[in-house]
Chain A
Amino acid sequence: MVIQSFTPLFAMLSSLVAVFPITLLKQSENRREMWTFIAAIIKFALVISMVPIILGGQTIELTLVSLIPNVPLKLRVDGFGMVFALVASSLWIVTSIYSIGYMRKSKEHAQSRFFACFALALFATLGVAFSANLLTMYIFYEILSLSTYPLVAHHQDKEAKIGGRKYLTYLLGTSIGLALPAMLIIYNITGTLDFGPNGIMAGHELGKLLPVLVLMFMYGFGKAGLMPLHAWLPGAMVAPTPVSSLLHAVAVVKVGVFCVIRVITGIFGANYLTLHGMVPLICYVAGFTVITASLMALYQDNLKRRLAFSTIGQLAYIIMGVGLCSYLGIVGGVAHIAMHAFGKITLFFCAGAIYVATGKKYISQMVGIGKRMPITMAAFFIGSLSVIGFPPTGGLVSKLYMLRGALQADMIPIVVIYLVSSFLNACYFLPIVYKAFFCTDSESQYEDKINEAPLACIIPPVITACVTIALFIYPNLVINLVESAMGVL
């Protein structure tokens, strides 16, 4: 039940092609932005068009060119990839609206470069989502690292320079130093790199090399932000907010997590890892990050940095869920990619909206802001509920799946980690919301008058907040896709 089709390629190329008109139309802002929208909508439509096929239990494949023996440049769309592609392409549209409002209002320079690199990054993100083997994935992973560098360093000041330097050092260093050799070792053992339904390692005994390889992959895809190789993510928050929101809450970091998921499920195989006792290793490495990142988030006063640490924790959450190697754990983990994405992007949008409207970056300066920007803060509240895992938001669904997955795998300590971290999530988000709305007039730093950010900065968080609630009511949209891929497993 494999269909050959060019649709995934076209879906990827739609944003790559858009790079040219975007760079060429420097003079006319409106026509340039129109191209971003055209590309984003075509991309989303193409991705949507593949959903029924995937839900029908089929996969789409396309071999582009042969690279090295047994490893072609090849695309394959399955449920996992589909979930990720849907999230990335739908949020690109929303983010585009937001970036236009944000970039114009704050009069950013080099906007053409910004939008061109953004389109390029989306091309690479979909490439990762649709990769059929590890090498193809690695190629797009590296393209993504490079194309996002100009975005991180967008402000071109000293802080941006340091942030950008950290960004590339961590991401290139880990991928070349750890992921590449690990991939080569796998290739030399198995002779293939294709993601198999049950992994490709069956029948190969690795002995002591196995934990080393597992760790090399987990840290090698540095975009997953596992501690102690996480420092690039808070550093990358110097980027303009649209970049932080789409790339550093969704595309880039989820690409890292997605790569780890693919390695766990498609290269090693869940059964193989369980059989060789690797589950505790993966879960405790991720669990350590979950708790530490949540604790560190408590101390951040810069709102975007707090969100960044929260993201690090949630990414490890996903890895932990998939690392349980139980059916429910994997479903929950992959579903959490989508659930967390909508929640976290809402939060980032709100942070950006506050910055655009008031120029404030620090949480201590946001006492009473709910009175001035009620819509923004309401969206912020819903987003934080989703990240914590409270009803009525989608975050609850995936977290429940992961909890049940932990029980299924008989890992009680992991259950505890999940619960503690959810509690910590609540600790670092709810006070912000509380102080924004419920404060005495003497404490409030803002006048009691509604003065919101521009419309283009308000609509996107409202949309994503609504989606978060919708995902609670109709979680099957995501869950079915994930399970269609699990059916193959």
Chain B
Amino acid sequence: MNLIIAKFNYVLYIVLMMMGLWAMIAKSNLIKKVVGLGIFQTAIILFYISISVKKGANIPIIHHHVDPNHAADAAHMVIDAAKYANPLPHVLMLTAIVVGVATLGLALTIIQHIYQEHHTIEEDEILEQLNQ
């Protein structure tokens, strides 16, 4: 129980991911499949963001008080990593979000074409048409 609470966000991401996966596999409506895809991708974004979370950490803008008198003081230059959140996963997820949007856009376009072609967006009906 403690483990679940301590790792709450990781549990959540897996639950979300499974929901997305279920929607993609079990739903017949193509739009719902795409929604599932979105949930799936978002779950991974959540996972990445969870990696970089630190309690009490600040945004990682490092500000050196450059003191001309202590310019050579090495101890002064040391950055305490615990004070700052890791910015890298955020940056990565920015890219992933862009990819997600592009995928979404492309998926919707293709669904439009499918609708024009088959006049339905229900998978079973499309398959029926294709098998004829």
Direct contact of A and B (CB under 8 A): no
Listed in ascending order, the chain A residues whose CB lies under 8 Å from chain B are: none
